[in-house]
Amino acid sequence: MVWCLMTAVLAAAAFAVDVKTMAAAVDAHYNHLRSLEADFTEVYRGSGMERTETGTLWLKKPGKMRWEYRSPREKLFVSDGKDAWFYVPADRQARKTAAKKLEDVRSPLAFLLGKTKLEKELQGLSLAPDVEPLASGNVVLRGVPQALADRVSEILLEVTPDHQIARIVIQEVDGAATEYRFDGMKENVAIGDGRFEFKPPAGTETVEGGLEP
């Protein structure tokens, strides 16, 4: 009985070390990055529906991001670190809000550029052996984001052997889930600040607040 208990304790300790080691390796990988470019696939599941969108993501320190959706319709979500915009050309409307007030589900993806420490931001960070990774050799972690705990119940991170984040699944408290898959990642590429600026085209209505792509 005692031997079984000791074995269980040692196994739990090894499990914890693995998570800590992996989280630290992911932090180290992204902390040195200045910029990131990747193709993304976004899958939303909720309210009895499923929606898949694709495009390109650019991130740059400090706090700059640009999500350029191309399929099935053109959309733009961009922030220069001060202001954030959501623009749909077909609607001829642009929504604007202060970046510091942004509570969009994409916000946790900021840690893709070393903004944070995984173990600090995701409470109860642990392995998720019940979740099948997209690629063999990848490992899935799970945790609860402190900053969005009232809205997000869990975040899954799929990590490659090179400690890149290949997939993020954001599970909201209402049962909806948004999944992001990243391909063709290019790190520390030259990205001009102009890519993160936005000026509404002529004839576009500007609305303050309420960014919900």
Question: DSSP code of 195?
Answer: G
User: With b meaning 16 or more CB within 10 Å and e meaning fewer, what string describes 43-66?
Assistant: ebbeeeeeeebebebbbbeebbbb
Global pTM value: 0.83
Positive/negative CA dihedral, 5, 7, 9, 15: negative
Please report the domains of the chain, with CATH numbers, ordered by start residue: 2-208 (2.50.20.10)
Tens of pLDDT along 104-151?
A: 555 556 657 655 688 888 889 999 999 999 999 999 999 988 777 788
Residues of the chain with pLDDT under 50: 2-17, 213
Which of helix, strand or coil describes residue 131? coil
Q: Are 36 and 58 in contact (CB under 8 A)?
A: yes
Q: What is the DSSP string of 89-105?
A: GGGTEEEEEEGGG---T
Contact 77, 67 (CB under 8 A): yes
Q: In this structure, what token pair is assigned to residue 100?
A: 């510091």
For residue 111, the model assigns a pLDDT of 59
pLDDT given for residue 68 in this prediction = 96
Instruction: Walk across the sheet containing 35-46 and list its strands.
Output: 122-127, 139-145, 152-159, 165-172, 177-187, 35-46, 49-60, 64-71, 75-79, 83-88, 93-98, 205-208
Query: What's the pLDDT at 118?
Result: 85
